Structure 1
Amino acid sequence: MATDNPANPIGVHALVWVGDTSPAALELAIGKTKAAGFDLLEISLHDSANLDVAAAREALTSAGLGVACSRGLAFDADVSSDNLAVVERGEKLLHDSLAVTRGLGGTHFTGALYSALGKYGHPLTAAGRRNVVTVLRRLAQEAAGEGMTLGLEVCNRYETNVVNTARDALRLADDIGEDNVLIHLDTYHMNIEEEDLVRPVREVGDRLGYVHVGENHRGYLGSGHIDFTAFFHALGDIGYRGPITFESFSSAVVMRGLSNDLAIWRNLWTDGEDLARHARAFIAGQLHASRAR
């Protein structure tokens, strides 16, 4: 029987609260995350140059919050490129980001780790895919030594040409060949690319390591057309107990660079606190209902 305390850590993306990772911004985000009842804060590392890792870790620990980190790459630092100098810059960015995640006390480093975040004008090349596999194998081996996992986030065709479906992610993880490379499903992207929201969850099974929950327009959960009941029942069917993080973007909160990469052109909400409290209750309610069987 389900309880009001679901086993899954429930998280929220920091862009619900703030548009950068300066000490003042993260202090605000951590406080609001705790007050809204979440277990975990996800921090995008696109702004990591402004991040005071030691101070953020202390604040997260004081608040009793877990942390996960995410990012995509840039076209001039893209490990899926055929240009080895570009690949080298991307690999350094990934290793630096893994170190930041570790420094914050996190064990989950996830996102579009395999490519730039943006629309490509061509399909992935065979050489580019080989570069992805080589780089992520080395990154995974480093992460394993620290007890960390990598997440391959399945993103839509307008944000990457490498991994667009759960099956793409599974094939890539198989080729990387490291046990700590897990799959990251996101309902916003699944709504665009998958045939339904159930079969991919079941196909990924115990290799699912991280989940993003977002509405089809990235606004309030339940205000769009995504079938969250089916999705959460599928998570229950595979016994998923990992993090479930709410992700929503609005032009009310802008992170320079990332917001443009994600094409966040309009206000889907203006009150992050109301949005987040609603999302926390919505996710907990779905988890409760999916287990009350």
Structure 2
Amino acid sequence: MQNFTLHTHNNELRFDGRASAREMLTAAQDKGFTTIGVTNHLIMHKNLHFDAAKEPMFFYDFKKAESAYMRHIEILENLKSDFKINIKIGFETDFFQDKDWRNYFEKMITRLPVDYLIGASHFLKSEDESFIVNIYHLKHLETPLEAEVLKGYVINHLKNIEQAIRSGYFSFMAHLDYCTIFNLAEDSSYDVYKLKIIDALKETGTPFEINTSGYDRIGRPHPAPWMIKELSQNGGLVPVVISDDAHYPERLGNHFDKAEALLKELNYTNRLTVDMLKKPC
């Protein structure tokens, strides 16, 4: 069974984990993991729709965001000497296509001393990114989105994942069908966009994760098994890694056995290893 975890969170600097960095590192070491990757969220955009008081890990201001990320890295670096477990530092990065975002991000990642980045998308957005809302916050909108508008935003979300893959920024991609947690993009009319995501992985050779948090939320991993099967030919067309997306110490390694069984069933042998992580450049 995979003996490392590369997608974890903590509550330092008011990130959305439910335990301190020290508590998460201690738990991973006690569970016998050889490596833990710490990947709090990197979320910044000038048009984010959110309550700053409730979401301190979201940033309008890119420079403030970078300062927070640097402080977080320093916290982790200062903890390394207290542990025997190999500690990798990264971020789960919400990708955006906006020119200003990409220009700043490409410069920022040359300054952040991180080991790797995970690509992700947690947001619905208009095509021009003038409106961006975290999927989790849809229920808090003062005026609910009309059905056709919502569908267009969901399609934009899926297209954004494809573009994140093609950007080349990331060591691997997180929970490819994250939006299905919220009962979005579940009918077959969205499959064409999911297949484009799969094609982008194949064409770029970008690894992806099986995110086991889905077993608790909707009874299956992310992405759905049919998407994993599409990538499983010849032992796996791109590398795959199992991720717990742990926000609590007790969820480290959660359901790894189920994910391993699924990969065995599909004869998916092409696995992402720690030494395959790439530093941003």
Please state which band the TM-score falls in when normalised by the shorter chain. Answer: 0.5 to 0.7
Name the counterpart of 2:94: 112
What's 1:203 paired with? Answer: 200
Q: 1:283 to 1:225 in 2, by over 3 A?
A: closer
Residue 30 of structure 1 deviates from its aligned partner by 1.7
What displacement does 1:92 show?
Answer: 2.4
1:159 matches 2:125: no
C-alpha spacing 1:32/1:233, structure 2 compared with 1 (3 Å)? farther
* Aligned equivalent of 1:291: 267
More strand by share: 2
Change (3 A) 1:170 1:222: closer
Q: How far did residue 231 of structure 1 move?
A: 2.8
Is the CA contact (8 Å cut-off) linking 1:186 and 1:211 kept in structure 2? yes
CA distance in 2, matches of 1:200, 1:243: 17
What is the number of equivalent residue pairs in this alignment? 210
What is the CA deviation profile of residues 45-78 of structure 1, one whole-angstrom value per residue up to 9, with x for unaligned ones?
A: xxxxxxxxxxxxxxxxxxx2232413144xxxx3
* 1:171-250 correspondence runs (5 A): 171=163, 179-181=168-170, 184-187=173-176, 189-191=178-180, 192-193=184-185, 195-196=190-191, 198-205=195-202, 206-211=204-209, 213-214=211-212, 218-220=214-216, 223=219, 228-237=224-233, 239-247=237-245
Q: Secondary structure of 1:151's partner?
A: strand
Which amino acid in the other structure matches residue 131 of structure 1?
D
Of 78, 87, 95, 2:62 maps to: 87
The alpha carbon displacement at 1:248 in A equals 6.4
Structure 1 99/150 Cα, relative in aligned 2: closer, same or farther at 3 Å? farther
Question: Partner letter of residue 185 of structure 1?
Answer: A
Task: Kindly state the Cα deviation for residue 245 of structure 1 after the two structures are TM-superposed.
Answer: 0.5
Select 2:99's aligned residue among 119, 124, 130: 130
Q: 1:231 is aligned with what amino acid?
A: M
TM-score, normalization by structure 1: 0.52
Q: For structure 2, which runs of at least 5 residues remain unmatched after alignment? A: 11-16, 49-58, 81-86, 125-132, 136-152, 270-281
- Give 1:110's aligned amino acid: E
How far off is 1:180 after superposition? 3.9
TM-score by length of structure 2 reads 0.54
Aligned partners of 1:152 and 1:184 also within 8 Å: yes
Q: Secondary structure in 1 aligned to 2:119? A: strand
Tell me the distance in 1 between the aligned counterparts of 2:99 and 2:30: 42
* Structure 1 unaligned regions, length at least 5: 40-63, 115-125, 254-271
Equivalent in the alignment of 1:150: 117
* Structure 1 residue 21: Cα displacement: 1.3
Distance in 2 of aligned mates of 1:162 and 1:133: 21
For 1:100 and 1:201, locate their aligned partners in 2 and report how far apart those are by CA, in whole Å.
36
RMSD: 4.4
* Alpha-carbon distance in structure 2 between the residues aligned to 1:225 and 1:241: 17
Distance in 1 separating the partners of 2:176 and 2:225:
12
How far is the alpha carbon of 1:89 from its aligned partner?
Answer: 0.9
Q: Which amino acid aligns with 1:233?
A: K
Counterpart-to-counterpart distance in 2, 1:10 and 1:27:
11
